[in-house]
Structures are given as structure tokens and as C-alpha cells.
Amino acid sequence: MMLRKVLIDTNVYVAWLNGGRHDEVMLGLGRVRYLSGVVHMELRAGAKGLPARRALDQLVRAYRAAERLILPTDEIFEAAGKVLLRLRAGGREIRRASLVNDVLIALCARSIGASVVTSDSDFEHIRSVVPFHLETVPIAGE
């Protein structure tokens, strides 16, 4: 079986943790999962209670131990600025933090040859200006 590298977006983690959705993505065979430092930040910002923070701590520990926590480099930040410039030239509003974060996530995935797994349509817009592998899953509730 050939393993595929995937970097899972925040919305997939939230759908899995809150509703048990996307078990195949989160637990299924055939994938080597990576965690973006940007996704870690977004999950941390949303972890309101102690049980959520403890679950996140455990998740991050596992990724760190496996050396699968991916952080944006200076080169990724530079490329992100260029991608955002192109998106703005194409008429996109780029001041939303979530779009900036998504650009960083996409470029981190690209840097390791991984697919982004998401239900967020912003990634299609990003992919229109920079190539990267993308796997979309249904939005929670669909």
C-alpha cells in the first residue's frame, strides 16, 4: 500500500473532535498525517475548556514525537506574501486572518509534498494562483 502525506485543516479536526466525522481521514490507513503549526494555533484558539485543551495537548505531543509538526519557514512566509498579492490582484479580500492562515497551510503542505485535506473553499481560490495537492471532504452536516 502506498502511503500519502496529508496535512489536515482545522475544520476537519473540529468536525472530527466535535461530531465524530471524517474518521477515515483521521484514523484510516494509507495516510501519513502532518500537523501545521498554523492549524495548531487555530485549534488552540478554539479550545475553550480544560478537556479540549488536554485533548489538543495530547494530539500535538503525538505529532511532535513523530516529527510531523510542520512550521512555516521564512521562505514560506515570503511565498505567502506573493500568493496574497496575486489573490488581491484577482479581486479577493486578503485581510481575513483565515485566508492568510489558509495560504500558510497550503504552502506548508506543498513544501513537504502533502495534500491539504479540508472542507474550506478558500483553498480552491489559493490553488488558482499556486499549485498544491488538495483533497476536499464534505462540510460538517452535509
Would you list the domain boundaries of the chain? 4-136
- By C-alpha distance, which of 71, 76, 5, 80 is closest to 40? 71
- By C-alpha distance, which of 10, 43, 41 is closest to 119? 10
pLDDT value, residue 18: 81
Percent of the chain topping pLDDT 90: 80
Q: Mind listing the pLDDT tens digit for each residue in 93-127? A: 999 999 999 999 999 999 999 999 999 999 999 99
Residues 7, 116: Cα–Cα separation, whole Å: 5
Q: Would the pTM count as exceeding 0.85?
A: yes
Integer-rounded Cα radius of gyration of the chain? 15
Choosing among 3.40.50.300, 3.40.50.1010, 2.40.40.20, 3.40.50.970, the CATH entry for 4-136 is 3.40.50.1010
Q: Would you say residue 1 has pLDDT above 80?
A: no
